[in-house]
Amino acid sequence: MTCLAAGLLLAACAPKATDAPLQPERLDTLEPPCWWVGMKTPLQLLVRGEGIGAYDVRIEGGKGVKVAAVHPAESPNYLFVDVSIAKNAAAGSYKLVFSRGEECFAVPYDLAARKAGSADRQGFGSADAIYLIMPDRFANGDPSNDTVAGMREAAAPDAFFGRHGGDIRGIRDHLGYIADLGFTAIWNTPLLEDDQPRQSYHGYACTDYYRIDPRFGTNEDYRDLVEDAHAHGIKMIMDVVTNHCGSLHWWMADLPFADWIHQWPSYTQSNYIFSTLNDPYASQLDRTRMEEGWFDRSMADMNLDNPYLLRYFQDWAVWWTEWAGLDGFRVDTYPYNEKEPMSQWCAAVLAEYPNLNIVGEVWSNNVPQVAYWQAGNPNKDGFNSNLPSIMDFCLMSAIGSGIGSARGDISRIYDSVANDLYFHDPSNMMIFPGNHDTDRIGDVVGEDPAKMKLVMALMATLRGYPQIFAGDELMVVSRDRSQGHGGLRVEFPEDWAQDPTKQALHDYFRTLLRWRQTSAAVREGATLHFSGRNTYAYFRYTEDEAVFVFLNNNEAPREVPWADYAEFTGRLQGPGRNVVTGERVDFSVPQTVDGKAALVVEFK
């Protein structure tokens, strides 16, 4: 809209167009806070301010940038403004001019130039190894921000569910360690503001989607972290939550629309049965309770069927990618979102960044239900999530029961990998032995270093891309397993090098991960696997190279049955090299693998 009506200049807008006073303080919120020229993503501004819904809006400052439409909300304190940016529009500082009757005021708005190649950025994938960090529980690099005035929860370093003080500075201080280990990407659990009064350390109850929590640092600190990570050869994955926000998010006091969130006559929790979303027999009651029920009393359930909220989240994801230089997203509680709008969200992000990757949390051990959510899956109902990658919880469960259990049989891992026929793209799946929501793998394997090495060998060589929770490379265990999440999410052990067991595990995994970066067979090869008596053997291979892995889950040593693998060894020319020891391995010579041990051999 402009200050034109019926073709006549509104005389009531007394100041000349360029004379409208700059009064950014008149607005409580303007999001996204800036934008870029040359973007494919349509820009819609969320404007919040007292009575702003009664104002007209225009843009001044240059050709090719104009207001295409203004949408009042149900609340009089919001406007949603569609901005049209021509392909030839110039970067620079513009003004949003708000007018009502005799009143005019302006707010500056910057359109920046994009960095060269921004749209073509390459996301994470099978060539990467991901280090998962829960920032509050990782490392405290700046004690001065442990408690911040105005935030509802102060630091409580000894409390199981309190804030311990970890921050962005602490992550930056460890980038050298992470890169040296062989990790090429970091996934931080949410860093955005979580100003809930209790258990705000985890970050999954966001109270401001455009602000880094000040107890972690500033927006600029986060951008510097990404830049520094890139200098270390590390990609950055942002953990985002579109299904729910914190119950004390600023918009909860005055929602733009009544259906901005799912509202019930009384508190109604999700039934957590996301199989209802692809169950042909599911009742509407169960589906509604699944999608619209709240995840927790402190987490208001967002309604992505509201088109303004969906656009808000689309622009938000693109803004953070462009502004901070991100390499991808991990989406929390993915199936709990409205599935068609969430499919549109993924499509919108990938339209701007075609090579970006997005991985969704689909927590189930039911293989077809997990496979349903990966993009391109041939679902009977025709649904396509547009979600490129999914988390392989099925494999995680098999690792826990196959290796972790005292009487575990590693054939459970064989069976899990055999289910790859259900997945559209097994190579683009996140594999992991545990994460911030599960038991520590060190606890699961009973603090047995030999079992940990089996897990590490599997993570370094199996299809997909591995994710390791910070400290698991050192077999960190829980502070108190009975305390659930609060006891499992422990600080990084800075004195790890003084512990011979941790040092040995570190060196073992470092050798495997750094070698993984050089192995095309592991990063992009095919798989041929063989079952055994509590052993698991497989080849990862391309036309030019092969990797052989033998995992002995028995207490006693086992001889490698080379004759059983003749259908593949017949392709090999000459001996291979033990990846860990460097020793020569000849498949024509008997080879014994110790109990609870792995053999990893590369053949060129």
Question: Which of the listed residues 517, 543, 568 is the one where a domain comes to its end?
Answer: 517
To the nearest whole percent, how much of the chain has pLDDT over 90? Answer: 95
Query: What CATH number has the domain bearing residue 536?
Result: 2.60.40.1180
Q: What is the mean pLDDT of residues 190-206?
A: 98
The per-residue pLDDT for 604 is 87
CATH number at residue 264: 3.20.20.80
pLDDT surpasses 70 at 284: yes
Cβ-Cβ contacts under 8 Å for 204 (sequence gap 6 or more): 189, 190, 194, 241, 244, 299, 332
- Contact present, 55 and 100 (Cβ < 8 Å): yes
Chain segment 102-129, per-residue pLDDT in tens = 999 999 999 999 999 999 999 999 999 9
Q: How far apart are CA 148 and CA 170, in angstroms?
A: 17
Residue 16 contacts by C-beta under 8 Å, 6 or more apart in sequence?
none
Q: In this structure, what are the phi and psi dihedrals at residue 46, rounded to the nearest 5 degrees?
A: -95, 120
Rounded to an integer, the average pLDDT of 128-149 is 98
Average pLDDT over every residue of 465-476: 98
88 with 179, same domain: the answer is: no
* Together in a domain, 398 and 492: yes
Task: Catalytic residue, from 361, 443, 473, 491: name it.
Answer: 361
Please indicate whether residue 332 is annotated as part of the active site: yes
444 and 549 inside one domain: no
Q: What is the pLDDT of residue 5?
A: 30
* Over residues 178-207, mean pLDDT: 98
547 within 8 A of 600, measured Cβ to Cβ: yes
Three-state SS string across 458-501, please? Answer: HHHHCCCEEEEECCHHHCCCCCCHHHCHHHHCCCCCCCHHHCHH
Which of residues 95, 114, 133 is at a domain's end?
114
Q: What is the pLDDT of residue 573?
A: 87
Q: Which residues pair with 196 in a beta bridge?
A: none
- The H or E element spanning position 238 is strand 235-240
Q: What domain range is 85 assigned to?
A: 4-114
pLDDT band at 17 (very low <50, low <70, confident <90, very high): low
Give start and end residues of each alpha helix (H) in 447-603: 449-461, 485-488, 500-516, 520-524, 566-569
70 and 107 in a single domain? The answer is yes
Euclidean distance between CA atoms 299 and 104, whole angstroms? 38
Q: Among 487, 517, 547, give the residue marking a domain's end.
A: 517
pLDDT tens digit string along 321-332? 999 999 999 999
> Is 227 a catalytic site residue?
no
> Does 305 share its domain with 445?
yes
**pLDDT given at position 406:** 85
Shared domain for 563 and 591, answered yes or no, is yes
pTM score: 0.96
Domain shared by 110 and 124, yes or no: no
Q: What is the pLDDT of residues 206-244, one digit of tens each?
A: 999 999 999 999 999 999 999 999 999 999 999 999 999
**What CATH number corresponds to the domain at position 88?**
2.60.40.10
Q: What is the pLDDT of residue 19?
A: 84
Query: Are 109 and 128 in a shared domain?
Result: no
Q: Is the pLDDT of residue 186 over 50?
A: yes
* Separation of alpha carbons 298 and 152, rounded Å: 14
pLDDT value at 381 more than 80? yes
Which residues have C-beta within 8 Å of that of residue 446, sequence separation ≥ 6?
404, 406
Mean pLDDT of 131-153: 98
169 and 74 share one domain:
no
447 shares its domain with 548 = no
pLDDT tens digit string along 430-461?
A: 999 999 999 999 999 999 999 999 999 999 99
pLDDT of residue 407: 87
**284 and 410 share one domain:** yes
Q: Is 344 found in the same domain as 416?
A: yes
Q: Residues 56-105: pLDDT tens digits?
A: 999 999 999 999 999 999 999 999 999 999 999 999 999 999 999 999 99
The answer to whether the CB of 297 falls within 8 A of the CB of 267 is yes
Mean confidence (pLDDT) of the chain: 95
The total number of structural domains in the chain stands at 3
Residue 9: pLDDT above 90?
Answer: no
- Give the per-residue pLDDT at 18: 63
Can you give the pLDDT at residue 3? Answer: 33
**pLDDT surpassing 90 at residue 25:** yes
Residue 13 confidence class, pLDDT cut points 50, 70, 90: very low
Cα(first)–Cα(last) distance of the chain, in Å?
Answer: 66
205 pLDDT more than 80: yes
